[in-house]
Structure 1
Amino acid sequence: MPQHVANSLPGTVHGQIAQVGSVHGGITFNYHSAQAPDQVPRRPDQVPRPPHRFVDREWALAELDGALAGAEETGGCPIGVFSGLPGIGKTAAARQWAHRHRERFPGGQFYVDFGALAGGAGGDVSEALAMCLRGLGVYDSYLPARLADRAALYRTLSADRRMLVVLDDVSRPAQVTALLPQGAGSAVLATSTWRLGELALDGAALLHLDVLDRESSLELLAALCEQRRVDAEPEAAAELVGLCGGLPMAVRLCAARLLTHRRLTIGALVGELADEQSRFGRIGASSGREERTMVAALEVVYRDLSDTAATVYRAVGCLPSRAFDTALTALVSGYSREAAQEALDTLEAASLLTATEDGRYSVHDLVRLHAREMSRRLDPPGTEREVVRRVSGHYRALALLADLAVRADRLRITEPVEVLGAGVREPGSGDAGPFANSESPRRDALDWLEAERGDVLAVLRAAAAFGFDRQAWQLAESFTVLFLHHRHLAEWRESLELGAAAANRDGQPAAEARLRSLLSRPLLDLGRDDEAREHLEAADQLAVESGRVVLQASVQEFLGRYWDRHDPARAADAYRASLMLNLQAGEGRGATLARYFLGCAQSVGGDHAAALAALAEAREDLLARGDARMAARVLADLGRTRARLGDVAGAVADLRQAVTELRGEGASHYEARALEDLADLLDDPAEARDCLRRALVVYKEGGSPRAADVLSRLVGD
């Protein structure tokens, strides 16, 4: 890779990634932001369009038509499975069928790529259910934590829809059966390199895709690189598709080369490809013919790349992330943005990568493996490690900037100046990085983290695997701000486990304590309370060893959250300890939050007078700090405490005001809870029903399971 490349990026960035060293001035990010809850489409249309020039699979599509129609007549949810080799066209066939039958599914088309989801312990299925529930209109705040509860809610919400669910890159039958919708006329279409024969017991139509026949391969070649060229060299064209082995991806690679090199004849390309197949046959006799075909086709295309494009290709193969843009490509290859963009254009024209709708690029897994192998063969030792080092540092900086934009005064062990350099102003100064100059830096930062979630986790895994422990735990710490708002529990848990282990290896007890205490949150949500307690007890000891009083206070607050579930008295003791430690450290906001949680615990425990005092003081301080959202939450708990004391008039007044404030802050979940509590206290049945109706609207819009309870109350009245 070229050396001594300056880290400078003036102007405007188009895409989701910017190379960050020392940041001077503003950086503008143009990317597809996540939809606001009230913008969730009523008819999801998530399946990507099929590729240009689809051929041959008409028999499979027709067979699928018949199988799904027959299954629909017998009841239940029909399942179709396309299986076959990588690069055989399974995904293309599934997308083509979905595209042709859009009108058949008025409830929408849902799409999950299991290849992009983290596996292990059902985490991929859980996240797939979350993706579908979001498509059905469920807010993150209402997503159940447990896999079984998500599956139950999915069945409920899909019961009145006629919908199609397309599942790409499935590896286990459970990934399909967990996502079967309940609505009459719905269907599931999956793709897999495995045949998934177990699904036959569920009535699935198992359609194994073989290689293209000669005629179909010629049809695809002619469609991609012009019929006249095929007609001019019919024998050579027939030999070429024969050498491609009927693999659509290999045909597309060859067609792209013919298109980009107008003077290259089909006969000359046949000679090149034949030589490569012979060479790989000699050195890889144990490989299958299809594998040798793909490698040979990739070698032919690769050999024709310019030095710059070849270097970028190899660097892309070393990326742990599945998607990338020009800025990241420039960072890992060492080229300027202009040179990197030119190389990406070349690689796209050669069909070695695909431009995505958000302005980034992706590569097929087989192409990625080939690019990585070429890097290991041709680049200096340690090149892949260097790419991971650069990428992990890059994402660490951007994740920290996003974290600062969401909450600059949040407790963090990472020192911003260590990651960002002295060029970024102090947090809270109004210019803490690329999100600070947007109209809504907090929202844009969370949207960026959500859009990059899968790639950030992939980078975190790679950083930990290569021993970049400092980058790993600092990235995990900043990354957790996303999960505090969007609770992807399996990914949250994994990122914190990786971060805590990295902090331990890095000899950073404060960081390990912080990450272990944060880890208790997803573990509690997942119902793994014993594990949460173990991590909290270890975090408590590490925090004391670190000598950081504020960190000790934070761990005590997390312990209080644990004891809230098991022993309210011990919870109150933990919150008192947190309050005293925060006051000792001069941490005002931490003390206020500890006082708030203490008041809630005292109220539940029956000490209502002390609870009122603690909650009133917490609300006053939060208002002084400009934290209207948290202040409104405190006011609602003040109302609940007054109700427990028998002060109905005071409780009604507090809850009325809390509803107004929470609505103004867009805190719909807390607003609905306050409305339910208010309805319980009102003497006027009509007003109480109005409160419940409003709560029902909020719960229905967010997909909350509480909607059913509120509806039963309304019907019962």
Structure 2
Amino acid sequence: MGVRNELSGSVSGPSVQAGTVYGGIHLGSPRDARTPWQLPPAVRLTDRVRELAALDGCRDLAARHGYPALATVSGLGGVGKTVLALSWLRRLRADFPDGQLYADLGARSPGGVPADPGEVLARFLRALGVPPRQIPPATDERTGLYRSMTADRQLVVLLDDAASAAQARLLLPGGANVAVVTSRTRLPGLSVDGCYPLHLEPLDTDAAVELLAITLADDRVRGQLDDARALVELCAGLPLAVRVAGARLAARPRRPITTMVRALTDEHERLEALAIEGDRGVRAALDLSYDGLPPDAARLYRLVALHPGPDITCEVAAAALGTAGDGLDEAARLLDVLHDAHLLTDAGEERSRFHDLVRLHALAKAEAVDMEPVREAAVRRVYDHYLASATRAEEILDPHHRSLPRGYGPGPAVVKDFAEDGGDPGDAALTWLERELLNLMAVLRDARRTGHATVTWQLADAMWSLFMRRKHYEEWRAAHAEGAEAARELGDTAAECRMLTSGAMGELDTGRHDRALEMFERADRLFEHEGDALGHARTLNYRGLALQGLGRLNEAAELFARAAEELPRCGDARAGGLARFNLAEVALAERRFEAGSTDAEAARRTLQRADDPYNAARAARLLGRLQLGLGRLDGAEEWLGEALTGLRGVSDFETARTLEALAELAERRGLMESAHDHYREALALYETLGLPAMVATVRARLGGGDNGSGE
């Protein structure tokens, strides 16, 4: 049952592994210096002159007093809250050059669970350039850092579809910035934060008629004004309903408006006893629009609404329809039909979204039209699309990571093509994983809820490449916790051990060594219960890493020594070499340079034989450090030169560490200009990786010429 997780051979991008792990894991997530422009595309705003003036007044007053301009926009579903907020915030772009932040807080999300403020804060902080390692674990600490980082910036924030004042409050920026919160309900609790409350009413008849005329883009409104007024009144002045009804008429340029008026009147009578207040006009318009769809587009409308995530891509549509292979073109065509009918909105980057009322309508249609097995099969195909695509990304980025089998439902899965644009497949795979993170997490959670627990843990496993490279710690922790629960429900011990060990790597990476140790020990007990000698031997190494992080070096060294002895006997010589590497690192920390050199040299030989040039180069760097400690400068130069050759272009972090050692070697020889060159190059790499502690250390050495010989 041993859980393998090794890397060797050709790998796209920086490489790490977790099943067989070395100490001091660091796969740097470079600081993103780009300005975030996260606001989604906006549709044309009709009227709302009074509301825009009120928002301008709110901003002017805040600017005069030097505090943030905060506003809440409340109103019925479909009344245009988000459109108003987007239109106003986009007008402010020139005055707020430091960017735009956006979050859908999911009060009416597909899964019924509003967004966690801590996860949203982590996304905002990453967008503002905070390296994932420096994002605090506690939500209140994240809020403090977020407000500190926004205090001196000029940016706008849109918090869309808030569930409560408490949820939104944590996400309000600091400084003289602008934030708008939209919600179906008024949020009086935000008044204590200085939020200006703006309640959005439906459009008056004249403004709604203007919107209808814009949607039709012909002369029918001018020639049939009374019918147009009757139509928008049946739509209750809700822009969403007017656009949907208008799109239906626009597709039939010879049809008089009165035809739609009669149809909507009939729909109103049918819905009168069923409709929620304020939604009746939208539902009536949606029913008519749905009835006018071609059968294949209507089927997509119903089935794609079952997707648990917020965004819809062409591949998701094809999966919902069950059209693998050449079905992408057909899926794209049908998505266009739904867009033309105003049943989907453009989310940017070739992605679509449902308005929450439209999604509810589509789900109701699916339940009424499609038998339960049909709906379940569509959902499973969407799950399989994400699992198969994430697995393909994993194969490109970390080809030796997967060791446990992955299974898909009946029929071929729709798999994302990462070579379609002719670029680097590794870059495309990582970009896809990053872009799909919210969808992946939604699918992972939904799969367990719907009885597909295997998909849950397998998808968490397939997301390893993203977590190690982009350090989404919140999602890393949540995915593996969900995966471990799913594996326990299935009674799948191998999968549970995989979730525990991979999840614990994230805890190690964030410095939560006690939590990591607890998870590794739980996995070890399972391995021993199953009689899995290899799994047990590997957890010796893992537990040693956690103890090393806790400063319990003697205990760590004992476990590393046992792992170095047991792993080769179990058939994993490479993992044994990594355990020897870890043992040498403990020796370096304790200034036992001779013993450490013996272990590091043994580790290097083993890793070379195992065709692991990356870790062999790391062992050479460690040997150079140890030789420097012994005062053997020529030997140190030889090993550090070998390390630099093997690490440059593979790992910026390890390259920087090697350059630091070369700088110290040059200082020992009195070659100060060479030392400064090495320090400056290391400094640039640490700055790119966003590691302030390392940056501060190197800057101090550049200024003071520190001749240290340890790490």
- TM-score (normalised: structure 2): 0.84
Instruction: Please give the per-residue CA displacement for 1:679-698, whole angstroms capped at 9, x wherever unaligned.
Output: 56625565555555444433
Change in 2 beyond 3 A, CA 1:381/1:119: closer
Contact 2:105 2:115 in 1 (8 A): no
The 2-side partners of 1:241 and 1:676 are apart by 71
In percent, how many aligned pairs have the same letter? Answer: 35
Deviation at 1:701, TM superposition (A): 3.6
Which stretch of the first structure deviates more once superposed, 354-363 or 174-183? 174-183
Deviation at 1:622, TM superposition (A): 4.0
Contact 2:111 2:308 in 1 (8 A): no
Task: In structure 1, list runs of 5 or more residues that go unmatched.
Answer: 1-35, 425-431
The 1-side partners of 2:433 and 2:49 are apart by 41
Contact 1:77 1:182 in 2 (8 A): yes
Deviation at 1:123, TM superposition (A): 8.0
Contact 1:55 1:219 in 2 (8 A): yes
Give the letter for the 2:580 counterpart. Answer: R
The 2-side partners of 1:147 and 1:678 are apart by 40
Contact 2:30 2:690 in 1 (8 A): no
Q: In the alignment, what sits opposite 1:589?
A: 574
Contact 2:110 2:309 in 1 (8 A): no
- SS of structure 2 residue aligned to 1:409: coil
Q: In the alignment, what sits opposite 1:210?
A: 201
Which stretch of the first structure deviates more once superposed, 350-359 or 499-508? 350-359
The 1-side partners of 2:86 and 2:65 are apart by 25
The 2-side partners of 1:639 and 1:152 are apart by 42
Contact 1:679 1:687 in 2 (8 A): yes
Task: In structure 2, list runs of 5 or more residues that go unmatched.
Answer: 1-27, 705-711
- SS of structure 2 residue aligned to 1:597: helix
Q: In the alignment, what sits opposite 2:480?
A: 496
Q: In the alignment, what sits opposite 2:700?
A: 713
Contact 1:153 1:705 in 2 (8 A): no
Give the letter for the 1:470 counterpart. Answer: T
Contact 2:79 2:200 in 1 (8 A): yes
Counterpart pick for 1:224 among 215, 222, 236: 215
The 1-side partners of 2:549 and 2:436 are apart by 34
Which stretch of the first structure deviates more once superposed, 87-96 or 153-162? 153-162
Contact 1:143 1:704 in 2 (8 A): no
Which stretch of the first structure deviates more once superposed, 689-698 or 397-406? 689-698
Structure 2 residue 154 is matched with structure 1 residue 162: yes
Which stretch of the first structure deviates more once superposed, 354-363 or 432-441? 432-441
Which stretch of the first structure deviates more once superposed, 370-379 or 146-155? 146-155
The 1-side partners of 2:132 and 2:474 are apart by 14
Contact 2:381 2:409 in 1 (8 A): no
Counterpart pick for 1:359 among 350, 356, 363: 350
Instruction: Please give the per-residue CA displacement for 1:271-321, whole angstroms capped at 9, x wherever unaligned.
Output: 21122122111234xx21x12222222111112222222211110111123
The 1-side partners of 2:464 and 2:102 are apart by 26
Change in 2 beyond 3 A, CA 1:371/1:436: closer
The 1-side partners of 2:619 and 2:263 are apart by 73
- SS of structure 2 residue aligned to 1:664: coil
Deviation at 1:530, TM superposition (A): 4.8
Pairing of 1:152-301 with structure 2 (within 5 A): 153-155=145-147, 157-173=149-165, 176-182=168-174, 185-226=176-217, 228-284=219-275, 287-288=276-277, 290-301=278-289
- SS of structure 2 residue aligned to 1:134: helix
The 1-side partners of 2:599 and 2:138 are apart by 33
Instruction: Please give the per-residue CA displacement for 1:311-334, whole angstroms capped at 9, x wherever unaligned.
Output: 111101111232233343233223
Deviation at 1:148, TM superposition (A): 5.5
Q: In the alignment, what sits opposite 2:708?
A: none
Deviation at 1:402, TM superposition (A): 1.8
Which stretch of the first structure deviates more once superposed, 127-136 or 340-349? 127-136
The 2-side partners of 1:73 and 1:420 are apart by 61
The 1-side partners of 2:671 and 2:494 are apart by 54
Deviation at 1:621, TM superposition (A): 4.3
Deviation at 1:668, TM superposition (A): 2.8
Structure showing greater relative contact order (alpha-carbon pairs closer than 8 Å, 6 or more residues apart): 2
The 2-side partners of 1:69 and 1:648 are apart by 66
- SS of structure 2 residue aligned to 1:88: coil
Q: In the alignment, what sits opposite 1:669?
A: 653
Which stretch of the first structure deviates more once superposed, 152-161 or 355-364? 152-161
Contact 2:315 2:416 in 1 (8 A): no
Which stretch of the first structure deviates more once superposed, 635-644 or 88-97? 635-644
Counterpart pick for 2:553 among 559, 563, 568: 568
Structure 2 residue 95 is matched with structure 1 residue 104: yes
The 2-side partners of 1:408 and 1:348 are apart by 39
Deviation at 1:712, TM superposition (A): 6.9
Counterpart pick for 1:601 among 566, 586, 605: 586
Q: In the alignment, what sits opposite 2:311?
A: 323
Instruction: Please give the per-residue CA displacement for 1:97-135, whole angstroms capped at 9, x wherever unaligned.
Output: 222121111222233333399999998434333333333
Q: In the alignment, what sits opposite 2:18?
A: none
Q: In the alignment, what sits opposite 1:463?
A: 447
Change in 2 beyond 3 A, CA 1:440/1:712: closer
- C-alpha RMSD of the superposition: 3.6
- SS of structure 2 residue aligned to 1:330: helix
- TM-score (normalised: structure 1): 0.83
Q: In the alignment, what sits opposite 1:377?
A: 368
Contact 1:323 1:455 in 2 (8 A): yes
Contact 1:71 1:203 in 2 (8 A): no
Contact 2:70 2:178 in 1 (8 A): yes
The 1-side partners of 2:135 and 2:642 are apart by 27
Which stretch of the first structure deviates more once superposed, 103-112 or 309-318? 103-112
Instruction: Please give the per-residue CA displacement for 1:650-697, whole angstroms capped at 9, x wherever unaligned.
Output: 5576557655654432x3334444555665662556555555544443
Q: In the alignment, what sits opposite 1:131?
A: 123
Q: In the alignment, what sits opposite 2:299?
A: 311
Structure 2 residue 397 is matched with structure 1 residue 406: yes
The 2-side partners of 1:592 and 1:317 are apart by 51
- SS of structure 2 residue aligned to 1:189: strand
Change in 2 beyond 3 A, CA 1:710/1:599: closer
Give the letter for the 2:311 counterpart. Answer: A
Pairing of 1:66-81 with structure 2 (within 5 A): 66-81=57-72
Which stretch of the first structure deviates more once superposed, 700-709 or 117-126? 117-126
Deviation at 1:251, TM superposition (A): 1.0
